[in-house]
Structure 1
Amino acid sequence: MTSEELHEQMIAAMKAKDKTRLSIIRQVIGEVKNIEVNERRDATETDVDNMIKRLIKQTNETLEMSIKAANNQERTDTLTEQVKILESLLPEQVTGDALIALIEQTIAELGATSKKDMGRVMGALTKATGGNFDKPMAAKEVGARLI
């Protein structure tokens, strides 16, 4: 997702009067501005995606603690909604048959035959998809195909 797309999402959230979505998008835009100011460069699409993934991880950790505490259901519901909104901002992950086809193609291209090649295959998958794939499923499938 680019900075321009984030601004369009923010405007749409304002028009829809969706306060939760607007709050999350503003948080993401603030993080993008931090990247641009601190590193004195424009944030790339990869920067934005990585930052959103980091926010998802942080929100999930907070959500897990809230679930364990089990004393504020409203906060737990809000955090769950925030995670869903953040996930919707990321590009769709490669899963299922598309992922299996990509794994087979990558193994063939690299000529991978043994478990020693698993790191190269996973690295190539990450590069090909920009890290947007189901990593546990991919690791299982790659491991099953390499001897």
Structure 2
Amino acid sequence: MTNQELHDQMVAAMKAKDKVRLSIIRQVMAEVKNVEVNERRDATEEDVNSMIKRLIKQTNETLEMSRKAGNNQERTDTLEEQVKILESLLPAQLSGDALVELIERTIAEVGATTRKDMGKVMGALNKATGGNFDKAAAAKEVGARLS
């Protein structure tokens, strides 16, 4: 997602009076602004997606702690909604047949033959997709193909 797309999402959330979505988008925009100020450069689409992924991770950790505490269901529900909103901001993850096809091509390109080559394959997949794939499913598929 580009910075402009993020801004458009914020405007749409304002018009829809969606306070939760607006709050999350503002949080992402603040993180992106920090990158721009601290590194003195414009944020790239990769930077924006990286910020969103980091916020998803942080929110999931908070959500897990909230579930363990088990004392505030309203907070847990809000955190779950925030994770869904953040995930909707990311491009769709590569999975299913498209992922299997990419795995087959990558194994051939890397020349992987044993499980020792799994790291090379996963690294190449990460580079090819920008980390935007179902890593657990990919690891299982790569492990099955390499013996």
Residue of structure 1 equivalent to 2:9:
9
CA deviation profile, 1:43-81 (whole Å, cap 9, x unmatched): 111111111111001101111111111111111110000
| Distance in 1 between residues matched to 2:57 and 2:69, nearest whole Å | 18
Per the alignment, residue 26 of structure 2 pairs with: 26
SS in 2 for 1:109: helix
Match of 1:92 in 2: 92
Residue of structure 2 equivalent to 1:81 = 81
Q: Which amino acid aligns with 1:56?
A: I
State the distance in 2 between where 1:70 and 1:111 align. Answer: 49
- Distance in 2, Cα, partners of 1:33 & 1:43: 8
What is the CA–CA distance in structure 1 between the aligned matches of 2:66 and 2:116, rounded to whole Å?
Answer: 41
In the alignment, the residues of structure 2 paired with residue 82 and residue 118 of structure 1 have an alpha-carbon distance, to the nearest angstrom, of 34
Q: What is the identity, as a one-letter code, of the residue corresponding to 2:41?
A: R
Q: Gaps spanning 5+ residues in structure 2: where?
A: none
The residue number in structure 1 matching 2:118 is: 118
Aligned to 2:103: 103
Quick one: distance in 2 between partners of 1:76 and 1:143? 35
TM-score (norm 1): 0.97
Aligned length: 147
Aligned AA (1:53): K
Amino acid at match of 2:62: T
Distance in 2, matches of 1:30 and 1:71, equals 30
Query: Gaps (5+ residues) in structure 1?
Result: none
Rounded to whole Å, the distance in 2 between the matches of 1:114 and 1:63 is 38
Structure 1 Cα separation of the partners of residues 10 and 94 of structure 2: 26
Alpha-carbon distance in structure 2 between the residues aligned to 1:45 and 1:32: 10
Partner of 1:62: 62
Q: Cα deviations across residues 53-111 of structure 1 (Å, max 9, x unaligned)?
A: 11001101111111111111111110000000000001110011111111011111222
Partner of 1:92: helix, strand, or coil? coil
- Per-residue CA deviations over 1:124-147 (Å, capped at 9, x if unaligned) read 100111100011111111111112
Report the TM-score when normalising by structure 2.
Answer: 0.97
Partner Cα separation in structure 2 for residue 58 and residue 35 of structure 1 = 18
CA RMSD after TM alignment: 0.8
